[in-house]
């Protein structure tokens, strides 16, 4: 890493020694998992580059944008509408939450039996390890699961720029009204932060940019329906993960370049794995960088992941926002129309999620489903039980995996995944 980045990290107040260690672990994991893959699409080199610069060049870009007067907003959840930030010429980025860091400090403030994603979100702040968190003008927390809600109370004491957004728990008329009011309140907060008045034209442009990104990802998802699958699940996950960090227009063009290559691969019958490899749909909790453990195990066992029913995947990016509203109010309604369809397990009841898993399994011709739950994630772990029972009834074998960010259970998971692949 260049000295330039070290002085940048020092200015951001990062703990340089711990950050060096984190980058070393991340770099090693990346080399072991990604660079070890054979026959990757050439256009993945762009995403390799982004990953290698995820704490470097991208942070430099954010800081340069801030110097030029733009504002940066960070979020952990796909309920935060990026379109509103883009409409104010802001930049929306995902915040680090995929690795165990500063756990000793975290467990002084949160119970041990809190999910790894929540602990990690706080750990990156306490350990001064996330350059995104230290580069943003506003952090948006959302009242989704109970663990996150309560963690934000702790987080609020560590930062001055936290905006907490309420999120409905039921898909009722009142729930919809709540979401609309909260998006309106967020729009006002973004206007105040940026000093930009969000007009209908600006909001429509923000929607177009976010939709273009989603369209490119929808194209990627559909290309994975081919047998042999033209891209590994690991590479597809990486692209999904990078969608949270990258400049949206550059990202869209880079996904399209991958898709062009995958289309040619499909036409030539060339796959990332041999035809007939077992096809797996992964469903459940989001996998943030560098959480590649389960896909690495599944694909290391010779199967291929053909879809992610996850917020770092299709749950987070499916459905478009209507672009034709003539007023800010109409466009806000259109945003709610789309985001209200996100079938996160925090909703009760949540039948749409099972319907979506079934649809994805059919579209991508999955041989089986692996339900991925993070330990102590009540919404997804509890929903996994009826979801798995319903899929089994459909004749779709389903494996429930509950894990965390540690490597301690790797051997045990390998054994379970291999046994599952055997029965498919």
Binding interface with ligand BJ8 (CB under 6 A): 77-79, 115, 117-118, 144-145, 147-148, 285-286, 311, 342, 344, 346, 374, 377, 379-380
The closest alpha carbon to 176, from 338, 42, 17, 65, belongs to 338
Task: Spell out where 36-90 has E strands.
Answer: 72-75
Using DSSP bridges, classify how beta strands 279-284 and 368-374 pair: parallel, antiparallel or unpaired: parallel
Of 374 and 417, nearer to ligand BJ8 (C-beta) is 374
DSSP classification of residue 40: -
* CB count in 10 Å sphere of residue 267: 10
Of 9 and 76, nearer to ligand BJ8 (C-beta) is 76
Of 158 and 419, nearer to ligand BJ8 (C-beta) is 158
CB 347 → ligand BJ8: shortest distance, Å? 9
CB 404 → ligand BJ8: shortest distance, Å? 10
Of 66 and 149, nearer to ligand BJ8 (C-beta) is 149
Distance CA(292)–CA(234), nearest Å, equals: 7
CB 311 → ligand BJ8: shortest distance, Å? 3
CB 24 → ligand BJ8: shortest distance, Å? 27
* Alpha-helical runs (H) found in 173-275: 173-194, 200-223, 233-242, 248-268
Burial grade of 6 (CB within 10 A; 0-12, 13-18, 19 or more):
middle
Given the structure tokens 């033209």, which residue do they identify?
230
CB 287 → ligand BJ8: shortest distance, Å? 10
Of 41 and 373, nearer to ligand BJ8 (C-beta) is 373
Which sign, positive or negative, has the C-alpha torsion 280, 283, 286, 291?
A: negative
CB 151 → ligand BJ8: shortest distance, Å? 8
Of 30 and 79, nearer to ligand BJ8 (C-beta) is 79
């Amino acid at each position: 890493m260049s000295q330039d980045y070290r002085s940048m990290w020092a200015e951001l107040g990062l703990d340089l020694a711990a950050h060096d260690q984190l980058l070393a672990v991340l770099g090693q994991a990346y080399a072991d998992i990604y660079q070890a893959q054979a026959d990757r699409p050439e256009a993945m080199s762009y995403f390799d580059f982004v990953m290698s610069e995820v704490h470097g060049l991208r942070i430099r870009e954010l800081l340069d944008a801030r110097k030029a007067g733009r504002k940066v907003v960070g979020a952990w959840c796909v309920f935060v509408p990026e379109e509103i930030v883009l409409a104010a010429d802001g930049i929306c980025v995902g915040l680090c939450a995929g690795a165990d860091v500063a756990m000793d400090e975290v467990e002084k403030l949160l119970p041990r039996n809190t999910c790894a994603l929540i602990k990690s979100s706080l750990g990156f702040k306490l350990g001064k390890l996330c350059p995104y968190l230290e580069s943003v003008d506003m952090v948006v927390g959302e009242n989704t699961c109970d663990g996150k809600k309560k963690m934000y109370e702790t987080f609020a004491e560590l930062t001055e720029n936290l905006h907490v957004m309420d999120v409905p728990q039921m898909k009722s008329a009142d729930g919809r009204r709540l979401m609309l009011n909260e998006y309106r309140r967020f729009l006002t907060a973004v206007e105040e932060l940026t000093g930009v008045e969000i007009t209908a034209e600006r909001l429509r442009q923000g929607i177009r940019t976010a939709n273009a990104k989603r369209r490119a990802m929808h194209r990627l998802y559909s290309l994975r329906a081919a047998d042999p699958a033209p891209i590994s699940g690991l590479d597809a996950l990486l692209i999904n993960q990078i969608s949270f960090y990258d400049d949206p227009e550059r990202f869209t063009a880079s996904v399209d370049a991958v898709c062009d290559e995958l289309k040619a691969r499909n036409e030539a019958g060339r796959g990332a794995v041999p035809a007939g490899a077992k096809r797996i749909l992964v469903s459940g909790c989001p996998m943030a960088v560098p959480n590649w453990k389960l896909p690495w195990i599944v694909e290391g066992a010779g199967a291929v992941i053909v879809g992610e029913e996850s917020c770092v995947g299709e749950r987070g990016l499916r459905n478009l926002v209507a672009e034709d509203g003539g007023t800010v109010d109409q466009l806000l309604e259109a945003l709610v129309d789309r985001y209200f369809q996100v079938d996160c397990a925090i909703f009760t009841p949540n039948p749409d999620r099972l319907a979506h898993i079934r649809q994805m399994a059919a579209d991508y011709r999955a041989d089986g489903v692996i339900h991925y739950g993070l330990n102590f994630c009540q919404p997804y772990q509890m929903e996994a039980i009826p979801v798995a029972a319903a899929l089994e009834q459909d004749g779709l074998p389903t494996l429930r995996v509950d894990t965390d960010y540690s490597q301690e259970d790797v051997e045990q998971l390998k054994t379970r995944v291999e046994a599952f692949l055997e029965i498919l």
